[in-house]
Structure 1
Amino acid sequence: MFVVGCPRSGTTMLQLMLHSHPRIAVPPETRYLVPAYQRRRMFGDMRLAQRRQALAEWIAGDRTTKFHELKIDKDEFVRQCVEGPGSLGSVIGTTFRMYADRFDKPRWGDKRPSYVKQVDMLLRLFPDAQFIHLIRDGRDCVASLKEMPWFTHNSFHAVSTWAEAMDAGAKLRRTMAADSYYELRYEDLTDDPSTELKKLCVFLEEDFDEAMISPREAASVAVPVHKVWHSNTHGDVTRARVGSWAARLENWEIALCEDVLGDRLVSQGYELTGAAPAAKAHLAACQKTMQKRRASRLRKNMRDRINRLREPSPVAALLTSGQRAIAGVPRQRIDSPEMADRTL
């Protein structure tokens, strides 16, 4: 499964809750899945063992990836990729499968907020995947984004980021099957973790486990030490930051959020303050930012459509019986009961 949402919406907390389940492993953000997909033409035909080896060595050795945080053996990973199925998704999926093997768990997931805008790509790689969209009050997300050392943009970009996540989620809600896409709110999850996680486990077709409610132990394994902005994950689940935007945003930012995001906030059950309308200059600047970001996404989508016409090899993973069935590959006799499970 994939955990998605707007950055700073609580996706790391949810990652740890899922990782605390005895059957599910969800690693820290890896940062190689999207680049590997975007460079698939460069890596060549994955049906050739030497091409799988080249991709595996890039994933395991390039300075831009976070492979080392998985703490799996590089040589063994390369070997399994060389001997494994000939598709892009199979090589990428092997990293996650080996990470799950570290904890003797049959099922794996991945977490990256921006995936909410890349579900089409992820389904090409893992056609049997499930998606969990964690939603948080956009004003809290904007306030938190502003404070992050890695977020180098202004408030207009922060507002745009939340709007894009909500719009992507609305499309997924309309187009995806109920057993593939699930939404829950950060505020509900922190208010009553047990109830919300039980409902989530029904979606995942897994038994609920009490360990999910207190994911502190998982934080020491699945949250890298250098990510100090996730320090809250090492404590108990808390509602302390719910609604903190009121003290963290300036008045003009509150007005902008409620003016630009108002309909989206209300549709998700969040109340507006009735703040005065945002200044025209702020609205114009935000609209310009949103237009530029939309144009950039359209360009990227166009490049991907062109690249799909020239793909050198299969994309979809062929690691599980479910994936092979979708691809029309005959069932292998060596499948174990666990491999027959839906492992995403």
Structure 2
Amino acid sequence: MNYSNNIISNSPPSREKVKPVQWSGLLDLVQKTTAVDRKKYQHKGRQMSANRLWHLVFPNLSQPIFIIGSPRSGTTFLGSCIGELPEVSYHFEPIATKAAARCIYEKEWGFQKTKWFYRLVYAWLMRIHADGDLRFADKTPRNCFVIDFLNQAFPKAQFIHIIRDGRDAALSHSKKPWMQAAQAKSPKYEPGGYPYGPYARFWVEPERIAEFESTSDIHRCIWAWRQHTENALAAAVKIPQDRYHEIRYEDLISNTQSETDLLLDFLNIDDNASRRRFHDAVSKVRPDSIGGWKKELSSEQLQQVEQEAGELLRQLNYAD
């Protein structure tokens, strides 16, 4: 069984640069995914037990947690806080499933094949830490585009969607090398398979690829914010309220206690020690990470932001 059709023959040149998921590269993908997971994993320091040994064979994937949101919206911070919970086995952007998201979005893989692949990857990640008895959690912004699949493959999953002012998110994103025009000749690839530089990702509208690759960095980044956020919000309406929780990054700063209590209640975390641990982690959120766009974005950049995402910013009550 071939795990990927190569990029379709009529794809634009920029999209041919993405590395497809194939059987021939599966071992390398497994090694990279494992290496990053070992580096990022937040260990619990637990003693081995019969229950942990049992779940080496049968990892718990019955009610996973998916932390979603656009890049630079606080997903990493919130994910690391959730990783502090003793009840949770938290995994930072698994490379294998991050790369596979494109195959789902572009309908290269069928549902059963994809479900098998995701469960295989997630189970493996829990096994390498012998934490299969805990509750699995995954933080990957790219999951914003495959929520329908995740909801169907894991019908008891809970989704936590963190939303940040798109202007701050885009500003922060533009300072990273991933989509910068200056990185066009870089030999580096980001973990999901795309080369550094202004190249169109799978979520860019086909008729706008040339525009995406020739515009400014800030425009590409607000574009990313809009696409991630719109797709997540559209998919969320199909998920029951007890399995979808929305939180604003700004509220996490201004109303830390109440927002963390609501989130812990959503996850059914009742243990007082666990709740205190989570509160302590969230209390480290940086208040100075709000409103930077007011000082740093030029009038020309703000005009691009308005043209690309003004409607969504107003819908979310971010427009000034």
TM over 0.5: yes
Quick one: which of 14, 22, 25 aligns to 2:86? 22
> Residue 313 of structure 2 corresponds to which residue in structure 1?
265
Q: Counterpart in 1 of 2:171? A: 143
Equivalence map 1:1-344=2 (5 Å): 1-35=65-99, 38=103, 87-98=116-127, 101-102=130-131, 106-152=134-180, 153=198, 154-207=217-270, 209-215=275-281, 236-272=284-320
Q: Please give the alpha-carbon distance, in whole angstroms, between the structure 2 residues aligned to 1:194 and 1:21.
A: 16
Tell me the secondary structure at the aligned position of residue 242 of structure 2: coil
Q: Deviations over 1:86-125 (max 9, x none)?
A: 94343122124336644x8621100011111111232344
Query: 1:156-209 CA distances to partner (integer Å, 9 max, x unpaired)?
Result: 221211111221132123222112221110000122322111111222222261
Distance 1:99 1:250 in 2: 48
Q: In the alignment, which residue of structure 2 is the partner of 1:333?
A: none
2 CA distance for matches of 1:161 and 1:134?
15
Output the amino acid matched with 2:81. M
- Which SS does the other structure have where 2:162 is aligned? strand
Paired AA for residue 250 in structure 1:
S
In structure 2, relative to structure 1, the CA distance for the partners of 1:244 and 1:34 (3 Å cut) is closer
Q: Which has the higher contact order (CA 8 A, sep 6+)?
A: 1
Q: Give the secondary structure class of the aligned counterpart of 2:289.
A: coil
Report the RMSD for the aligned CA atoms in angstroms. 3.0
CA distance in 2, matches of 1:162, 1:97: 30
Q: Distance in 2 between matches of 1:100 and 1:198?
A: 28
**Cα 1:165–1:35, aligned 2, differ >3 Å: closer, same or farther?**
closer
User: Contact 2:91–2:138 (CA<8 Å) still a contact in 1?
Assistant: yes
CA change 1:238–1:35 in 2 (3 A) is: closer
Contact 1:25 1:99 in 2 (8 A): no
* 3-state SS in 1 of match to 2:241: coil
Whole-Å separation in 1 of the counterparts to 2:66 and 2:149: 12
Which portions of structure 1, spanning 4 or more consecutive aligned residues, are displaced by more than 3 angstroms?
34-42, 86-90, 99-102
Cα gap change, 1:132 to 1:2, in 2 (>3 Å): same
SS for the counterpart of 2:261 is helix
Task: Compute the TM-score of the two structures, normalised by the length of structure 1.
Answer: 0.56
Distance 1:166 1:25, change over 3 A: same
In structure 2, distance between residues paired with 1:263 and 1:41: 32
Name the count of aligned residue pairs.
214
C-alpha distance in 2 between matches for 1:160 and 1:144: 13
Identity of aligned residues (%): 26
Partner Cα separation in structure 1 for residue 155 and residue 174 of structure 2? 35
Equivalent AA in structure 2 for residue 126 of structure 1: F
Residues 133 and 182 in structure 1, CA contact (< 8 A), matched pair in contact too: yes
Distance 1:238 1:105 in 2: 33
- Give the Cα–Cα distance (whole angstroms) in 1 for the partners of residues 248 and 108 of structure 2: 38
Contact in 1 for aligned 2:147/2:232 (Cα 8 Å): no
Cα offset, 1:127, TM superposition: 2.8
Mapped contact 1:10–1:134 kept (Cα < 8 A)? yes
- Tell me the distance in 1 between the aligned counterparts of 2:281 and 2:129: 17
- For the residue of structure 2 that corresponds to 1:209, the secondary structure is helix
The secondary structure found in structure 2 opposite 1:18 is helix
Cα separation, 1, equivalents of 2:309 and 2:157: 30
Measured in 2, the distance between the counterparts of 1:132 and 1:32 equals 21
1:146 and 1:185 map into 2 onto residues whose CA distance is: 21
Indicate the structure (1 or 2) with the bigger Cα radius of gyration: 1
Report deviation, 1:36.
Answer: 5.2
Q: Which stretch of the first structure deviates more once superposed, 239-248 or 2-11?
A: 239-248
Q: Which amino acid aligns with 1:197?
A: T
CA apart distance, 1:32: 0.5
